[in-house]
Chains A and B, each alone.
Chain A
Amino acid sequence: MLYNSLQFLLFFIFVTVLYWNIPNKYRWFLLLIASCYFYMAFVPIYIVILGFTIVIDYFAGIYIEKATSLRLRKVLLIISLTANIGVLAFFKYFNFLNSAFDGLLSYSSHHSPFPYLTFLLPIGLSFHTFQAMSYTIEVYRGNHKAEKHFGIYALYVMFYPQLVAGPIERPQNMLWQFHSNHKYDFENLKSGLMQMAFGLFKKVVIADRLAEIVDRAYANPSAQNGKTVLIVAILYSFQIYCDFSAYSDIGIGAARTMGFKLMDNFNMPYLSQSIGEFWRRWHISLSTWFRDYLYIPLGGSHVTTGKKYLNLIIVFLISGLWHGANVTFIIWGALHGILLILENIKNGIAGKSHKNNQPPFFVRALKTVGIFLLVTLAWIFFRSPDLKTAGIILGKIFSYSIAGPLNHDVANLSVLIFCFFVIAVMMIKEYFFLIIPTKNTFKFYFIFVSLLLLSYFFGVFNHKQFIYFQF
């Protein structure tokens, strides 16, 4: 079920109104049924896969807690992780690995004996798999007690506002909330609705409008000139931000209307002055997941410099692969890893003496622009369907000529002016108010209704999926 659809609007109203009008003890059940329905609205049968990992992890959690020997706990954790990663690997990476295998065998004039899978990737698989893994790891580490209530555990994995594209939550933040008795709070409702409305605005007015331009250019990159692809690359940076953060906004807002607080997933990432800072502001729930469950267990920064850099590269390569089974995602991850290593080396050379000195504004502004452009270049690999396309786009950018005309088949001037205007408005809004204040009820209604009207009149409603659904 897409957040930017009439179906979701009715679903949300029905579930939220019912949620506040039934006794607390039945609410978990309502949310679980609603979440199952929400997920099944995409491809019903895939609920079985989700159910499989939920059952495995539920029992793994309980038995890990009960187990007295460390060895047994480790075995149970490995079983749980293997089940999760196995499902992920089978559905997401089988064809990729099979194709690589096929390529290898082709040197000896043979072909892979395994057939390619033809079914669709279960939606949001990487998200709920990672969320489920965070639970068993936390129980294994003793940071959280195993959840005894099967329904609540299932809800932890399936809670509809964050089921398909995060934020990837932790048991410490969510499980207690499912056990709590949420009291109706009009302020929460207003705040949640406002965040949802702004998310909808970002998705349909900005992201999907930009998508039209970007898709046209990427459909035929050879026909574009340097100026056009440079502008398109910049626009894609905002498209993916608005698309993904809109999903998070609507999800976080929907949860808030029912009294739940999900973690923030974005914090103005394009104002970062370093790649490290960018990753503390972009997709925060995934970055922290990799930090806590991969980077630190590998030794983190408390190892030799060489090992630390190796750890960084491993984390970013896996992060790339997490996004998709394609070499373009791996290169995207590798680029970020390399940039982060270079940044670490530069900081090491510069020493700690500069740490406390705030550079002047224009230096900070230049750094922000520089980091944005580096991130934008990396996004080219993320967006391109293959390396050839990425190569064409980069080739055009680096042979950029200011004299070249803009390709008006991709975007006309008025669309570009509109897009840059709404992006500027969004950035200013987010700089001053990450969440629009809603204390004043009159202002709330005015801004809320205005956002809905603007979304309707200037929005693109073509049932376009959120980019991160594919992951």
Chain B
Amino acid sequence: MRKLSAYIVLVVVGLIYVAGCNQTITNKIQEYKAKDNPYLNSDRYRYGDLYGMSYLSYFRKSYNPGPPIKMIECSCTPKIDLYTVSDSYIWPAFTSKKYYYGVDKLDNLISSHHEKFKINLDSAKINVLMLEFTERNVAYMLEDEGYMDNILNAPDKDKKTESASQELNPQQIQAKSPGNKLSAILASIKQFRTVIFDYIFNININSNLEFNLTDNSILSPIKELKADMNYKLFNAVDDNVKISDKGDQLFYTPTVDTLDIMSAFRFISDKEKDTLVSRLNSIYFNYKKNGFARVYLTIVPNPISMLSPNYHSLTYNHLLERIQNSPSLKMPFINLLPVFSREKNRVYLKSDSHWNHNGASIWQKEFNSRLETLLKTGSK
């Protein structure tokens, strides 16, 4: 009996460990938990991403994403091919071309450092690029050489990516240059090592295990009890979350921490701001040169910049305004600042680092008015 129990423990623990090590299995589990199903429900994003980090029970009740984003009824002939290079504000919500005016084809290209942008233009269409950043990501993205390299090379990226991958393929190296066997062997070893390390020494194993084992709505009350006790006793919340002075709004820590590149309170010199503007201009001219009729910029304000710009007497850096008001900026932009500062209590969730459906709808309306004008003028 003892042996049998031991073997059961070994199998169960082993399987849990392997699932935590393997990113593919963990991703499958995450997908399954994210859907509404009778078992293994996750509350991580159900009540806002900051609730899922903090588990403060107060914010479980206050979740209201607002009315759903409307699809556009358009009697026009769709002629626009829209490419969006955006982060998590846009791509999960605006998944269909029907959200946009006169768009025939939509391609959401995610602004990740590791994503290769692939753009194949149809010259018969009006090609539009919509470049979207959140305020917190402007400097983080534009100061990253990998991101700039990706985005500046995107229009003709396909060919380059293909040739680069050919260079890395050990079999092809061997076939093309028989004398270069050592490089092929080394490349094979490197590939093998990468696979082994990814599967056996996954650096995300702890967060994966935490998600797989404890991210379940059944366990949420226990997590909430811990979070509430720590908040009430020590005024302590999760490191990723800051709570407003009144205690009714959560903010994402990197947007507050003065040393973080994402912070709204980090000192940003004019020189740094000018560099950001210059990089935006490079992107703009590059895409215009490569056949885009329009390139638009949207910078979505951080929740803290609108709701609490004087948080703990810190000095707000006004980065968004400074970029938009820069006389050097050539890229046309969707200016969300006036309406967002007016509607600040409507456009953000209490427990999420993103805008809510109201905020997204405001942006959608502003952007679609640009598309409508473009379609009417027929400019290419």
Contacts and interface: CB of A to CB of B under 8 A. Distances in A.
Contact of A418 (B20, B205, B226, B233): B233
A360 B206 CA distance: 52
Interface string A4-45: 011100110110011011000000000000000100110010
A462 B14 CA distance: 24
Contact of A412 (B20, B210, B235): B235
- Binding site of B, secondary structure by majority: helix, strand, loop or mixed? helix
Contacts of B9: 13, 17
Nearest to B259: A219
B317 to A, nearest CB: 19
A40 B229 CA distance: 37
A463 interface: yes
A7 B226 contact: no
Q: How large is the interface on B (under 10, 10 to 19, 20 to 34, 35 or more residues)?
A: 20 to 34
Contact of A14 (B17, B206, B210, B225): B17
Contacts of A20: 6
Nearest to A462: B239
B206 A414 contact: no
Contacts of B114: none
Nearest to A415: B234
Contacts of B225: 457
A14 B14 contact: yes
A187 B226 CA distance: 32
Contact of A6 (B3, B7, B213, B230): B213
B323 interface: no
Interface in A452-468: 456-458, 460, 462-463
Contacts of A418: 233-234
Contact of A415 (B6, B235, B239): B235
Interface string A437-463: 000000000000000000011101011
Given A21-B6, A457-B226, A463-B206, A10 B201 contact: no
Interface in B2-55: 3, 6-7, 9-10, 13-14, 16-17, 20
Contact of B229 (A13, A14, A37, A457): A457
A343 interface: no
A11 B201 CA distance: 13
Contacts of B6: 17, 20-21
B236 interface: yes
B209 interface: yes
Contact of B13 (A13, A457, A460): A13
A21 to B, nearest CB: 5
A345 B117 CA distance: 73
A7 B205 contact: yes
A212 B230 CA distance: 13
Contacts of A18: 10
Contact of B226 (A10, A209, A415, A456): A456
Contacts of A209: 234
Contacts of B197: 44
A412 B209 contact: no
A44 B199 CA distance: 13
Given A212-B236, A414-B235, A21 B213 contact: no
A10 B235 contact: no
B206 A10 contact: no
A92 B87 CA distance: 41
Nearest to B312: A409
B144 to A, nearest CB: 19
A53 B7 CA distance: 36
B246 to A, nearest CB: 17
Nearest to B213: A6
B20 A14 contact: no
A119 to B, nearest CB: 16
A179 to B, nearest CB: 24
Contacts of A462: 239
A7 B206 contact: yes
Interface string A402-428: 000000000010110010000000000
A212 B213 CA distance: 27
B13 A44 contact: no
A259 B239 CA distance: 39
A458 B213 CA distance: 20
B13 A14 contact: yes
Contacts of B17: 7, 10-11, 14
Nearest to A459: B226
A6 B233 contact: no
B124 to A, nearest CB: 51
B209 A10 contact: yes
Contacts of A21: 3, 6-7, 10
A463 B204 CA distance: 12
B209 A414 contact: no
A17 B16 CA distance: 15
A390 B200 CA distance: 42
A303 B17 CA distance: 57
Contacts of A10: 13, 16-17, 20, 209
A425 to B, nearest CB: 16
A14 B230 CA distance: 32
Nearest to A417: B233
A21 B233 CA distance: 45
A324 B197 CA distance: 30
Interface in A361-410: none
A171 to B, nearest CB: 30
A17 B10 contact: yes
A412 B234 CA distance: 7
Interface string B223-249: 001100110011110010000000000
Contacts of A40: 201
B196 to A, nearest CB: 9
A349 B89 CA distance: 75
Contacts of A460: 236
Contacts of A11: 17
A37 B202 CA distance: 12
14 contacts: A5-B206, A6-B20, A6-B206, A7-B205, A7-B206, A10-B20, A10-B209, A14-B10, A14-B17, A21-B7, A21-B10, A40-B201, A415-B233, A457-B226
Interface of B: 3, 6-7, 9-10, 13-14, 16-17, 20, 197, 200-201, 205-206, 209-210, 213, 225-226, 229-230, 233-236, 239
Given A2-B206, A21-B7, A414-B234, 17 more contacts: A6-B20, A6-B210, A7-B205, A7-B209, A10-B13, A10-B16, A10-B17, A10-B20, A18-B10, A40-B201, A44-B197, A44-B201, A212-B236, A414-B233, A415-B236, A458-B230, A463-B206
The 8 residue pairs across chains A and B that have the minimum distance between CB atoms: A6-B209, A415-B234, A21-B6, A14-B13, A10-B17, A5-B206, A457-B226, A7-B205
